Amino acid sequence: MVLFDIMYLGQNALFANQTGVRTTSENIANVNTPGFSRREAVFRTAAASSFGGLRLGQGVRVETTRRILDGALNARARRQNSIAEGSTARANVLARADIAFGDLEGGGASAALDDFFESLDILAASPQDQTARTNVLATAGRLTETLNGYGRELRLLREELNAEIRAEVSEVNRLGAEVADLNSRITQSAQPSNDLLDRRDQLIAEIAQRSGLQTIEQDNGLVTVVLEGGHTLVAGNEVQELVVVANGPLVDITAGDGGVERDLTDDIRSGSLGGILRARDEDLAATQTAVDDFVTTFATEFNARHQAGFGLDGLGGRDFFALPSPGASSAEFLRLDPGLSNDTLAAASDPTLINGDNTNALSLAALRTDAVVSGQEPGDALRGLLQDFGDRAFSSEAASQADGFAAQQLTELQQSISGVSIDEEMANLLRFQQSFAASATIIRTADELTQDIIALKR
Partner 1 sequence: MTIHDDPLTRNTTPAPASDWVAHLESETHALRELLEAATQTRAASLTDRQDQIGPLLEKQALLCEKLERARTRRRALLQESGRGRGDFLVAVLSQTPPALHAQATARFSEYVDAAEAAQREIDINKEFFSIALSALDDIIGTVEGREPSYGPRPPTEPRLVSFKA
246 touching partner 1, by CB under 8 A? no
Binding piece for partner 1, criterion CB under 8 A, among 14-22, 88-96, 123-131, 176-184: 14-22
**Binding marks (x or -) toward partner 1, 158..197, rule CB under 8 A?**
----------------------------------------
Strands in 7-132 per DSSP E? 39-45, 49-51, 54-56, 60-67
| 210 close to 273: Cβ distance less than 8 angstroms | yes
What is the spatial distance between Cα 390 and Cα 384, in angstroms, rounded to a whole number? 10
Q: Which is nearer to partner 1, 100 or 413 (CB)?
A: 413
In angstroms, what is the minimal distance from the CB of 48 to partner 1? 9
| Residue 18 beta carbon to partner 1: minimum distance, rounded to whole angstroms | 7
Q: Where are the beta strands (DSSP E) in 59-212?
A: 60-67
Between residues 72 and 455, which has the closer beta carbon with respect to partner 1? 455
* Torsion angle (degrees, nearest 10) of CA 41, 44, 49, 51: 50
Closer Cβ to partner 1, 245 or 449, answer by number: 449
Between CA 82 and CA 75 the distance in angstroms is 11
Residue 223: DSSP 8-state? E
| Residue 63 in contact with partner 1, rule: CB under 8 A | no
Q: How far apart are the C-alpha atoms of 456 and 87, rounded to whole Å?
A: 81
Of residues 47, 72, 190, 442, which one binds partner 1 by CB under 8 A?
442
Q: How far is the CB of 249 from partner 1 (least distance, A)?
A: 46
Half-sphere exposure of 151 (CA within 13 A, CB side): 22
Contact window for partner 1 (CB under 8 A) among 8-16, 78-86, 274-282, 296-304? 8-16
How many Å from the N-terminal Cα to the C-terminal Cα in the chain? 21
DSSP 8-class letter at 284 = I
Query: What span, in angstroms and rounded, lies between the C-alpha atoms of 429 and 435?
Result: 10
For partner 1, which residue of 47, 60, 170, 284 counts as binding (CB under 8 A)? Answer: 60
* C-beta of residue 303 within 8 angstroms of C-beta of residue 115: no
Under the binding rule (CB under 8 A), the answer on residue 432 touching partner 1 is: yes
Q: How many residues appear in the chain?
A: 458
DSSP string, 263-312: E-TTT--SHHHHHHHHIIIIIIHHHHHHHHHHHHHHHHHHHHHHHTSB-T
One of 37, 39, 59, 386 touching partner 1 (CB under 8 A): 59
Q: How far apart are CA 104 and CA 110, in angstroms?
A: 9
Identify residue 284 by its one-letter amino acid code.
Answer: L
Is 6 a residue that touches partner 1 (CB under 8 A)?
yes
- The one segment of 7-15, 134-142, 200-208, 243-251 that binds partner 1 by CB under 8 A: 7-15
In the bound state with partner 1, the residue whose beta carbon lies nearer, of 30 and 173, is 30
Nearest-approach distance from CB 271 to partner 1, in angstroms: 24
- Rule CB under 8 A: which residues touch partner 1? 1, 6, 9-10, 13-14, 16-18, 20-21, 24-25, 28, 31-32, 38, 41, 43, 45, 51-52, 54, 56-57, 59-60, 412, 415-416, 419-427, 429-443, 445-447, 449-458
